[in-house]
Amino acid sequence: MKAALGIDTSCYTTSVALAVEDGALLSRRRLLDVEQGARGLRQSEALFQHVQRLPALLEDMLSKAGEAQIACVCASARPRDAEGSYMPVFTAGTGFARAVAASLRVPFYETSHQQGHVRAAMEGAGALPEEFLALHLSGGTTEALRVRPGLKVELLGGSNDLHAGQLVDRVGVRVGLSFPAGPALEKLARQGAAKSAFPLSHREGEVSFSGAEAQAMRMLDAGAAKEDVAAEVYSYLARAVAWLIGWAYGKTRLSAALISGGVASSALLRELLPARLQKLNCPVRLHWGKPEMSGDNACGVALIGWEEYIHGNDPER
């Protein structure tokens, strides 16, 4: 059977995937190493780790791929599908992908990290209309998008400072959790109580997370229980994302929203967000992908590559 190989090298995850023509998806990924207490990596450090890890990840995945034959290779070449969008880490994946494609004499395709996230979230999200809203929530992105046929993505609004995942990670590291802090901070949040202590900061098409971070740090400095602070963080996330969805609905009248990105894997956010939308009387239907495909992974990239291949698109476009 034929398959598309997808490669994604984001700021914090090296990942490879195979989208097989029978519908199977195989993937391998590995988080980059971040020192305890650190809030991230320099691009040079992340790039080095990607280069070191790609060969072993690919070897491991292909050892489980059976008779699947690579018919094309696709890589995320940039953060977003926008002019000037660039991060050095993506050169690790594209360079590796081009080399594999050239050695196998198969087509090479490019996509964006964001499009990969949206496409991955579409798996298991149920039937979506031809045109829909998408929220991309991660450590590097908090954006409301309009998605048109062909996975054409238009930016509508988003954060004007920190991103959703940065708020989670910065507060998590502050209370002694390892980076990335999402799952551990969520566990703490379930043990605490939120009183909407962080006032929602927003303006036309934009939400802010830096004020929430500052208030969380002040609460911790004043001796507040870390469980309650964690609960306030997730309360703020739900309120901010709900407001952004409501604003995007008012602008587009699109009544379906796909929630994608690493933050979308949060079970707590999946519980809180529908209730917040109901309070806003917002009629948007939420669509969630599989939690295991919400984080940085190459599955969406591989699916995009396969669709490019079967539709016979020009790989050089």
Task: Quickly list DSSP for 139-155.
Answer: SS-EEEEEEETTTEEEE
The yes-or-no verdict on residue 39 having pLDDT over 80 is yes
Kindly report the average pLDDT of the chain as a whole number: 95
Q: Residue range 27-53: average pLDDT?
A: 94
**Parallel, antiparallel or unpaired: strands 206-207 and 152-159:** parallel
The yes-or-no verdict on residue 73 having pLDDT over 70 is yes
CA 41, 45, 51, 55 torsion-angle sign:
negative
pLDDT category at 137 given cuts 50, 70, 90 is very high
Residue 57 is which amino acid? L
Nearest to 134, CA basis, from 258, 237, 254, 243: 258
Nearest to 17, CA basis, from 70, 86, 89: 70
Q: What is the pLDDT of residue 291?
A: 92
The yes-or-no verdict on residue 140 having pLDDT over 60 is yes
**What are 194's two structure tokens?**
């939120």
Q: Give backbone dihedrals phi and psi of 202, rounded to 5 degrees, phi first.
A: -155, 160
Contact, 301 vs 74, CB < 8 A? yes
Burial class (CB in 10 A: 0-12, 13-18, 19+), 253: exposed
Measured over all CA atoms, what is the biggest interatomic distance in the chain, rounded to whole angstroms? 62
The yes-or-no verdict on residue 315 having pLDDT over 90 is no
Any idea what DSSP says for residue 262?
G
The yes-or-no verdict on residue 196 having pLDDT over 60 is yes
d(Cα 93, Cα 7) in Å, to the nearest integer? 6
d(Cα 218, Cα 42) in Å, to the nearest integer? 27
Cis before 283? omega within 30: no
Which residues touch 59 (CB under 8 Å, ≥6 apart)? none
Contact, 116 vs 4, CB < 8 A? no
Neighbours of 225 (CB within 10 A): 14
The yes-or-no verdict on residue 10 having pLDDT over 70 is yes
Q: Which residue has the tokens 């207490």?
A: 37
pLDDT category at 178 given cuts 50, 70, 90 is very high
**CA distances, 229 to each of 196, 253, 277 (Å):** 10, 35, 22
The yes-or-no verdict on residue 82 having pLDDT over 90 is no
d(Cα 94, Cα 247) in Å, to the nearest integer? 36
CA 4, 263, 53, 102 torsion-angle sign:
positive
**What are 192's two structure tokens?**
């605490």
Q: Residue range 201-224: average pLDDT?
A: 97
Nearest to 260, CA basis, from 40, 112, 84: 112
Alpha helices in the chain (DSSP H): 43-63, 89-104, 113-122, 164-174, 182-189, 210-221, 226-252, 267-279, 299-310
The yes-or-no verdict on residue 313 having pLDDT over 70 is no
Q: Residue range 2-6: average pLDDT?
A: 97
